[in-house]
Amino acid sequence: MSARSKARKRALDFLYEADIKKVLAADLFSARGANELSQEPYVLVLINGVAEHLPKIDELIITYAQGWDMDRMPPIDRNILRIAIFEILWAAEIDIQVACDEAVELAKSLSTDESSSYINGVLGRIIKLKDSIAI
């Protein structure tokens, strides 16, 4: 597993826990100690990037996750989508297909049987419309 794959998984852990507890993921990250920051800088990039763009990211999820309210969507899926959408739209150094593939793999290993194909579909629509999305 690559360092960025590990960082995505770790960021997902923080985002998921924060979502469930209704707190900020960055606060959870800070509370766990500076040691993690020095070992996994991309985790903090993802956590802060998702936090910075959360209103727009959630708007896109609501728009393109047809048939799902944010409250009905499994929290793990919601946060996998948040990370991937951040990487697709704002992390220029990340290949968009890699971001999509990583999200699908996270869903396969951590969520329901249907989640990976559903996440792939939502991200596919966002990738297709990427250039026309106002960010």
Q: CATH number of the domain at 3-132, please?
A: 1.10.940.10
Is 45 a residue whose pLDDT tops 70? Answer: yes
Secondary structure (DSSP) of 95-126: -HHHHHHHHHHHHHHHS-TTHHHHHHHHHHHH
Contact between 78 and 61 (Cβ < 8 Å): yes
Give the domain ranges of the chain: 3-132
Is 34 a residue whose pLDDT tops 70? Answer: no
- Asked whether the whole model's pTM tops 0.75, one would answer yes
Q: What is the pLDDT of residue 37?
A: 52
Q: What is the mean pLDDT of the chain?
A: 91
Burial of residue 46 (CB within 10 Å: 0-12, 13-18, 19+) is buried
pLDDT bucket at 105, cuts 50 / 70 / 90: very high
pLDDT tens-place string over residues 52-100: 999 999 999 999 988 777 888 999 999 999 999 999 999 999 999 999 9
